[in-house]
Structure 1
Amino acid sequence: MELGPWSALEWLALMEYELLLFAGVFFLLGVADELAMDGIWLWLRTTGRLRTHRIARAQLRHGELSGLVAVMIPAWQEDKVISETLVHARRAWPHDNLLFYIGIYRNDPASMQAASRGADDDSRVRLVVHDRDGPSTKADCLNRLYRAMEQDELRRGQAVRIILLHDAEDMVDEAALALIDTAMDDCEFVQLPVLPLPHPTSPWIASHYCEEFAESHGKAMVVRDALTAFMPAAGVGCAFNRETLRTMAEIAREESGARGPFCDSSLTEDYELGLRIGAAGGRSRFLRVRGEDGTLVATRSYFPTTLERAVRQKARWMHGIAFQGWDRLGWSGTLVENWMRLRDRRGPMSALVLLTGYMLFLIALLLTALDIAGYGRPWEPTPLLWALLGINMIGFIWRAGVRMAFTTREYGVMEGLRAVLRIPLANVIAIMAGRRALLAYGRTLRGADAQWDKTAHEDHPAMTQRSAVSEHAV
């Protein structure tokens, strides 16, 4: 087959060469970025600047809170999990000066019924029915909860001290509330680690979040905190000073007419709010503490179990953080902050580079097969290209080892080994999410409204634990 003056084999060789240069250079930049992060983390560890404190969970669970705490949980079509979440949270946090605000849409009666069962007439739980049909955006639902809290403050004549955000599928830690209450004495925003739970029926798709969060919340967020860069909020296990949110609400009202501190049009309103608080001079802390048994004080939950749901969730994150974040937040004036924002927004570019790498792998296989068949190979890598390939291979081995180490620390050796085996699948999910995020962003540029493209949740960790106990009893 001839394509102009060149043969098909020569065209394939040219594609291999160009893709090799593109992927090799950008993979090298990624290696350098991660090595810098690893180096700072290792320096913090070896110099003693990074220490994980130990606490007694039971003592904190029954400790007194220094003020009123409001826990806000937006819920759209969460009838499968919201009841279990409320039952667990109410038991884990028996404190009297605690209020739960559950946001329900008026066209979602199933979630209303499930939340009512979970509340079980607990006077600390308030179900807030949104005055519009869902889904809008998570930020819009949170703003509705914020306005309901303001009304309650006026009625009680008592202001809330801390506002804590959680999702409808979360399993809270019994020590988290008192720990946050203490930490908020000297800052305006606190973020606890998020610890995905390995899913018993989805060891590859749902469980691949384990290594990503183990490394991100065990290293990247720790370094970010140590460098005093602005701290993004994860949307769960994040707490804000009441006065700080009041200030952010006033700013949002002046800038866009928003009816609360959360941007209604943002898909990652939590991430954005954390950075805006930092930009406004607010102090933040990433609170990494372990209990007496060595387990991390963190928010635990199951993550999406199917490929389609995982892609949708990561596409929403990528759309909100990379595309909307660039548009809405821009860049900072400091080198460290710009580095962190660049890391946050690299998702679409990483997806493109990964796609290039997989295309390169397929072309290389085809050319190798043709070479074995006797057609020859039109070109050979130069020493510089061999060096580039070698450095990237060493970098990949290092990255896989680091990911395995952080995963092993939280989940054990077997999960650490599976973390390495899940790397190709995680890359495929990232590529698919990057495409979906780009298309969604394109639609918003043409005037489409951002919607809550939320993840469907089918089961709760508490349900699985009870099921396991029942099977063992039988």
Structure 2
Amino acid sequence: MDVLYWFASYLFVLKYVVYALSVLLLIFGLDDLFIDLVYWGRKCYRRLVIYRKHPKLHYSKLKEKAEQPLAIMVPAWQEHGVVGPMAELAASTLDYENYHIFVGTYPNDDKTQADVDAVCARFPNVHKVVCARPGPTSKADCLNNIIASIFTFESQAKFTFQGFILHDAEDVLSAMEMRLFNYLVERKDLIQLPVFPFERQWYEFTSGSYLDEFAEIHGKDVPVREALVGQVPSAGVGTCFSRRAIQLLIEQGDGIAFDVQSLTEDYDIGFRLKQHGMSEVFIHFPVLTDTHKQQINKGSLKSASYSSVVCVREYFPNTFTTAVRQKSRWIIGIVFQGMKSHAWTRDWKLNYFLWRDRRGGLTNFIGFVALLVLFQLACIWGYQQLSGSAYNFLSIYGDEPWLSAVLWANAVLLANRMLQRFVFVTRYYGCIQGVLSIPRMVWGNIINFFANIRAVRQILEMGDVKRVAWDKTSHDFPSLGEARASYRPLGEILLSAGAINKEQLHNALTQGQGRVKLGRYLMQQGVLSGEQLAQAIAEQAGVEYRSCPPLSTPEQGDLGIHKTIAVRYAIIGLFLEKGVLHIASEQHLSPVALGAISRKVGHKVRYYIAQPGQVTVALKMHFSDDSAYSYANLQRRARRSDWPHFVNAHYSEFEAISEVAMLSPSVANQVMIGQENSDSGVGDYLIAKGVIDEQTLELAQRIMRRPLASDKPASSSEVSL
């Protein structure tokens, strides 16, 4: 009897729980249905009206706009082994050259610092930033340190970045990302790209739940938000801020752009910029090439246009614990910190989306409770069917017509939710992932529930939502194949090759460094031959050495190399074989430079290291108006016994200026990007930009002339210039 009493009480309570859940689920379902109707109505209108009057912009138009300097900001706490592959992949895939990556590290993270140092040695456009305070602080604090370093670099290189881009170290960038930002940054102050996680194995439901959520949120919810209120929440990656936006944030923050106490500073900034009338955009921009069309399996139902959008790809957590940790940070930042930082406004449309942001604190709990209740009802129904009991326990719900109507409405809304999820996942990932997204809805709800629990517990433990620490999540990075050898100093290579001894290296480092490069100094002192130096540089760069006599070089126009390309990168074309253009350089060419050369000449590129002066003399012969470097005059000069020294003694003007002015490789590279589109010579351009003064240029020109006048190695007094 007692058991029946307690069971009846349980059914009574369960009945009113079902009532409450049914009403709440109906409200949330209608809320989602509104977004669905707006999205599909807007899509139909744009297709039937807008795109008939205004055709979509073709991606080829992006290349017509001159490259503006863009800065990529990468916070890196315990990211060793990740930064290098990211820079490597960006250099090999980005259809852009005028960008720099600033990596924020911490003084108590030696492994990441060492990793970034190795990357900086290979990539002149990668810069290490060491934060003032030991880590982990917050992502916002790291970004503030990065911005300060960017401004310092700007003052050194005498130029300004036009776009500031947020990325994580594990991000994989689309080839046209920089082009798209470059095209929009003058008109838009916050540009957000969609994020589409990488697929893992079909049975890994945790990482798959991220795939489903981002496909629907960035495929539908955020575009509707932008269309209705013009406000876009940054995803923290794939976000570009205009210079105007960064300057405004710094002014409003009393010198600090990002809120250091916010766990989701990206979300916070979207509102701050909107409050000051800044223009924000969420951009779905397809780059549909013939290759991409051929790769689409029509049976997968994947959309060729949708799956080719410029976006950010990365691997998200694939374990329950790491997913709960990451999502609890998002919940604290968006729901709880958001309620404290962003009050309700007078704009009902903006308030509506604030409500949608914050309702996660309720829906994560309600959805989980609904699963538990559904499970209990299923068990009760199963017991009735199997036991043959005369009791019809579920009859307590049968005399409520309104409840029946609400339950049917919720069933229809649930079916719509499943259909929407299937459609948006299928558009990008194909129908297999679309089908899997249905059962993953349950698993995602469980993850979100426990993330909510953890978020609330953290806030209660700290006593203040602003005091919760940055809980970084580790990510995976796609494999790039064989790892590259670590960067070795030139002196170490020369020692191991037996080209110099320790005493000669010590003397060169103490007497010559800071005036000329180590290899050049050793060669000028007669310690090293041009061939030995070139072989050492080739080993350092990981490429082959090849002697390239200037008189043997072919006409550059025949290889598709124009003067602007040859002079800009200090290269000379050798031959074209099987679609690969073979070129020579006297210095290491970064992967970024090689990618730019390849795009400009329309061929894959392979380069060799030539002896000092060989490329410089060849460039003068092919492109200079100086009669002394005509083919006939150089041919007569080559008959003299000192011809090798004559060639090796040649400096390029920019190399001489860089040594005298002690320009870092990163500054020097940025200066040359700007000079490429200038009608001025290198020296005049640098003076006009304020990088050097006339005295520095004169000293550089003296260094270039003296070896030619004497036809003998330069003395130590000449090197001291």
User: TM-score, normalised on structure 1?
Assistant: 0.90
Question: Paired residue for 1:286?
Answer: 282
Counterparts of 1:177-196 in structure 2, within 5 Å, are 177-196=178-197
Question: Paired residue for 2:267?
Answer: 271
- The counterpart of 1:320, out of the listed 308, 313, 333, is 333
- The counterpart of 1:461, out of the listed 463, 478, 492, is 478
Question: Paired residue for 1:152?
Answer: 153
Equivalent pairs counted in the alignment come to 456
Question: 1:438 and 1:181, CA in 2 relative to 1: closer, same or farther beyond 3 A?
Answer: same
Deviation per residue, 1:147-179 (Å, 9 max, x gap): 111222223332211101101110001101111
Question: Paired residue for 2:85?
Answer: 84
Moved more, 186-195 or 447-456: 447-456
Q: What secondary structure is seen at the aligned counterpart in 2 of 1:386?
A: helix
8 Å CA contact 2:96–2:178 kept in 1: the answer is no
Question: Paired residue for 1:101?
Answer: 102
Question: Paired residue for 2:35?
Answer: 37
> Separation in 2 of the partners of 1:465 and 1:428?
39
Asked if residue 409 in structure 1 is aligned to residue 427 in structure 2, the reply is yes
Q: How big is the shift at 1:313?
A: 0.9
- The counterpart of 2:44, out of the listed 43, 46, 58, is 46
AA paired with 2:280?
Answer: S
Question: Paired residue for 2:228?
Answer: 227
Deviation per residue, 1:250-300 (Å, 9 max, x gap): 2112xxxxx521000000000100111011110011111111233111001
AA paired with 1:397?
Answer: A
Question: Paired residue for 2:378?
Answer: 365
5+ residue gaps, structure 2, are 293-304, 484-721
The RMSD of aligned alpha carbons is 2.3
Question: Paired residue for 2:343?
Answer: 330
Q: How big is the shift at 1:202?
A: 6.1
Question: 1:210 and 1:65, CA in 2 relative to 1: closer, same or farther beyond 3 A?
Answer: farther
Q: What secondary structure is seen at the aligned counterpart in 2 of 1:128?
A: strand
Deviation per residue, 1:219-241 (Å, 9 max, x gap): 11111121133211111110011
> Separation in 2 of the partners of 1:119 and 1:151?
17
- The counterpart of 1:308, out of the listed 296, 311, 321, is 321
8 Å CA contact 1:53–1:289 kept in 2: the answer is no
Q: How big is the shift at 1:427?
A: 0.8
Question: Paired residue for 1:2?
Answer: 2
> Separation in 2 of the partners of 1:142 and 1:134?
13
AA paired with 1:208?
Answer: S
Question: Paired residue for 2:174?
Answer: 173
5+ residue gaps, structure 1, are 254-258, 467-474
> Separation in 1 of the partners of 2:6 and 2:375?
15
> Separation in 2 of the partners of 1:266 and 1:122?
32
> Separation in 2 of the partners of 1:464 and 1:21?
57
> Separation in 1 of the partners of 2:336 and 2:41?
33
> Separation in 1 of the partners of 2:271 and 2:21?
31
8 Å CA contact 1:230–1:279 kept in 2: the answer is no
Question: Paired residue for 2:633?
Answer: none
Q: What secondary structure is seen at the aligned counterpart in 1 of 2:46?
A: coil
> Separation in 2 of the partners of 1:179 and 1:127?
26
Q: How big is the shift at 1:439?
A: 1.5
Question: Paired residue for 2:198?
Answer: 197
AA paired with 2:46?
Answer: G
Q: What secondary structure is seen at the aligned counterpart in 2 of 1:39?
A: helix
Higher RCO structure, 1 or 2 (CA under 8 Å, sep 6+): 1
AA paired with 1:308?
Answer: T
AA paired with 1:324?
Answer: Q
Question: 1:17 and 1:80, CA in 2 relative to 1: closer, same or farther beyond 3 A?
Answer: farther
8 Å CA contact 2:327–2:448 kept in 1: the answer is yes
Q: How big is the shift at 1:403?
A: 0.6
Percent identity over paired residues = 29
Q: How big is the shift at 1:39?
A: 0.6
Question: Paired residue for 1:15?
Answer: 13
Moved more, 24-33 or 223-232: 223-232
Q: How big is the shift at 1:386?
A: 1.2
Q: How big is the shift at 1:367?
A: 3.1
AA paired with 2:138?
Answer: T
Q: What secondary structure is seen at the aligned counterpart in 2 of 1:266?
A: coil
- The counterpart of 2:444, out of the listed 415, 426, 432, is 426
Q: What secondary structure is seen at the aligned counterpart in 1 of 2:23?
A: helix
> Separation in 2 of the partners of 1:54 and 1:460?
32
Q: What secondary structure is seen at the aligned counterpart in 2 of 1:289?
A: coil
Q: How big is the shift at 1:106?
A: 1.3
User: TM-score, normalised on structure 2?
Assistant: 0.60
Q: What secondary structure is seen at the aligned counterpart in 1 of 2:144?
A: helix
Question: Paired residue for 2:491?
Answer: none
Q: How big is the shift at 1:465?
A: 11
Counterparts of 1:341-352 in structure 2, within 5 Å, are 341-352=354-365
Question: Paired residue for 1:297?
Answer: 310
Question: Paired residue for 1:379?
Answer: 396
Moved more, 446-455 or 385-394: 446-455
Deviation per residue, 1:175-202 (Å, 9 max, x gap): 0111111112212111111111112486
Whose Rg is larger? Answer: 2
Question: 1:209 and 1:264, CA in 2 relative to 1: closer, same or farther beyond 3 A?
Answer: same
Question: Paired residue for 1:391?
Answer: 409
> Separation in 1 of the partners of 2:2 and 2:480?
62
8 Å CA contact 2:162–2:185 kept in 1: the answer is no
8 Å CA contact 1:12–1:367 kept in 2: the answer is no
